Chains A and B, each alone.
Chain A
Amino acid sequence: MPVVSLKPGYSGPVRDRVENFHGAYLVYVHWEGHLNFCSAITLPLPPTTPFAALADEILPSLYQADPGWSGVDLAAARWTLDGEDWSPDRTLALGEQGVGHKSLIRFWTA
């Protein structure tokens, strides 16, 4: 439903268009079951980022503050991308396997 405005055609700047992020997508990641991290985390990632880089470098840098992170086996994790089951391929870039601007990646570890 459109917003009610004095004159037709009300609009303002759409602030978070993908072109405003210098080649990156915004990607949200969330480690399920670990609410010591209060919410999902926002990352600016170029779509060319390999999933391996996310799994091997980025996620550890974020989640190692949890003492339990060292025992996590991401290869055995369950993933969803934007609400659908997802089997990420380590060798592919995020953009090549369905990750878009403002996608949400959730994962469950044992």
Chain B
Amino acid sequence: MNIDIQAEAITPRRHTFSHIARRFGVDKPASRYEEATYDVQPVANFHYRPTWAPEFELYDVARTRIVMADWYVFRDPRQFYYATYNISRAAMQQSFDDAVNFVEKRGLVAGVAPAWREAVAAYLLPLRHLEWAANMNCQLIADWGYGTQITSAAAFCGADRLGLAQVISRIGLVLGEGGDDHLVAAKTLWVDGAAWQPLRRLAEDMLVLRDWFEVYVAQLVVLDGLVYPLLCESFDAAGVAHNGAPISMMTGFLADWFADNSRWTDAVMKAAAGESDANRTVLNGWLRQWGERAHEALLPVARQVLGEEGDAAVAQARRQLSARLEKLGLTLGEEVPA
């Protein structure tokens, strides 16, 4: 339609919004990620102090010890805005559904050694509660974080964590042949099982943190950085001896998700650490503190799954995280003896 109008008559008068042009130049069309993400959060002239925290403005840089000159340096390498995020996750979910359908239709779980089935139910299913805590932590970051860039990505990560908790629950239903016995049992383990209590205590301790960047470090960098490698590498590898491949088919997405999420967390940590020595000092302090806590909390779970090799597996996960952080200019700190 309207092709009869000569092209010069409908030349755009500008390429993008002024706030985007101020960052990237006036003559460049902006990407959808940029327009959706940069400078969207209100920054000035707030009308009322929160009745629940009058010491802060509604959006306030003082809610964390991390100090940034510009809060829009946390570019998400995945460039997620709502549409790309959901399309990506719908695809991830589809591949999980395909895997579960494949396993269910062929009754493959029946071929897994019963003891390993029980072991998986005992280590994987309680983690859905840990995901739920991660979900709450992401909501805190989305709530109190500063700048659309890091908070929108945290909101997506929060949705991921609810989704992960639900996907793990679904595996629980598969293991229970459709029944919920395993989910009920796993909750009892999480709440009362001795091996899980250090981890649950850690999760609850994180839920009372108020510095949102500390929550980011403790949950998304440290705890995830230890739990996922442990789960996706050491625990998964232990299943090979028990014909665990059908389980691995269903849990394979966990490693994919972690790799995807780590691209974002690495970018965030690198930018925060690169900003100043002061930031690096704060970050290293949190890494050390929460690294020690997480290491200790995971030992009993690892021992339960891997026996005497459990300690080495946690130490291995810790070395991986440490190497990752070193590339970002950060230090996890020394290994703690168990």
Is there a direct interface between A and B, measured as CB atoms under 8 Å apart in the complex? Answer: yes
| Complex A-B: 17 CB contacts under 8 Å | A3-B51, A4-B51, A5-B51, A5-B52, A5-B54, A6-B51, A6-B52, A6-B53, A7-B54, A10-B49, A10-B51, A10-B54, A11-B49, A11-B54, A12-B48, A12-B49, A12-B54
- B52: chain A residues within 8 A (beta carbon): 5-6
Give the number of A-B contacts (CB < 8 Å). 17
Q: Which residue of B lies closest to A12 (CB)?
A: B49
Closest 10 CB pairs of A and B: A12-B49, A5-B51, A6-B52, A10-B54, A10-B51, A12-B54, A3-B51, A12-B48, A6-B51, A4-B51
| Contact digits for A1-42, partner B, Cβ 8 Å, 1 yes 0 no | 001111100111000000000000000000000000000000
Q: How far is the CA of A5 from the CA of B52 in the complex (A)?
A: 6
Given the complex, which residues of A lie within 8 Å of B54, measured CB to CB? 5, 7, 10-12
Most buried by B among A3, A4, A6, A12: A12
In the complex, chain B residues whose CB is within 8 Å of the CB of A12:
48-49, 54
How many residues of chain B get a CB closer than 8 Å to chain A's CBs? 6
Closest Cβ–Cβ distance, residue B62 to chain A (whole Å):
15
What sequence of 0s and 1s flags, for each residue 17-54 of chain B, a beta carbon within 8 Å of any chain A beta carbon? Answer: 00000000000000000000000000000001101111
A6–B51 CA distance with the chains assembled, in angstroms: 6
Residues in A neighbouring B48, C-beta threshold 8 A: 12
Q: Which residue of A lies closest to B49 (CB)?
A: A12
Per the 8 Å Cβ criterion, residues 48-80 of B in contact with A are 48-49, 51-54
* Chain B residues, Cβ within 8 Å of A6: 51-53
Q: Which residues of B contact A (CB under 8 A)?
A: 48-49, 51-54
Q: How far is the CB of B323 from chain A (nearest CB, A)?
A: 44
Interfacial chain B residues near A7, Cβ < 8 Å: 54
9 more contacts with CB within 8 A, not counting A5-B52, A10-B54, A12-B48, are A3-B51, A5-B51, A5-B54, A6-B51, A6-B52, A6-B53, A10-B51, A11-B54, A12-B54
Cα distance A12–B55 in the bound complex, in angstroms: 9
A10 to B55, CA, bound (A): 9
Q: Which residue of B lies closest to A15 (CB)?
A: B47
How far is B48's CA from A10's CA once the two chains are assembled, in angstroms? Answer: 11
A11 to B48, CA, bound (A): 9
Question: How distant is the Cα of A79 from the Cα of B7 in the complex, in angstroms?
Answer: 61
Distance from B124 Cβ to chain A, minimum over Cβ atoms (Å)? 39
Which residues from chain B contact A3 at a C-beta distance below 8 Å? 51
Cα–Cα distance between A7 and B55 once the two chains are bound (Å): 11
Residue of B nearest to A5 (CB): B51
Q: Mark A71-109, 1 if CB is under 8 A from B, else 0.
A: 000000000000000000000000000000000000000
A32 to chain B, nearest CB (A): 31
Q: Whole-angstrom distance between the alpha carbons of A3 and B51 in the complex?
A: 8
A18 to chain B, nearest CB (A): 20
With A and B bound together, what is the CA distance between A63 and B338 in angstroms? Answer: 82
CA distance A10 to B56 in the complex (A): 12
Complex: chain A residue closest to B55, CB-CB: A7
Closest B residue to A11 by CB, please name it.
Answer: B54
B53 to A, closest residue via Cβ: A6
CB distance from B16 to the nearest CB of A (A): 34
Nearest chain B CB to A1 CB, angstrom units? 14
A3 to B49 alpha-carbon distance, docked (Å):
12
- B59 to chain A minimum Cβ distance, whole angstroms, is 15
A residues 49-88 near B (Cβ < 8 Å) are none
- Give A7 Cβ to nearest chain B Cβ, in Å: 8
In the bound complex, residues from chain B placing their C-beta under 8 Å from that of A11 are: 49, 54
Residue of B with least CB distance to A3 = B51
Assembly CA distance A97 to B53 (angstroms): 43
Q: How far is the CB of B316 from chain A (nearest CB, A)?
A: 45
Q: In the assembly, what is the distance between CA of A4 and CA of B54, in Å?
A: 12
Q: How far is the CB of B54 from chain A (nearest CB, A)?
A: 5
Contacts of A5 in B (CB 8 A): 51-52, 54
B30 → chain A closest CB, angstroms: 36
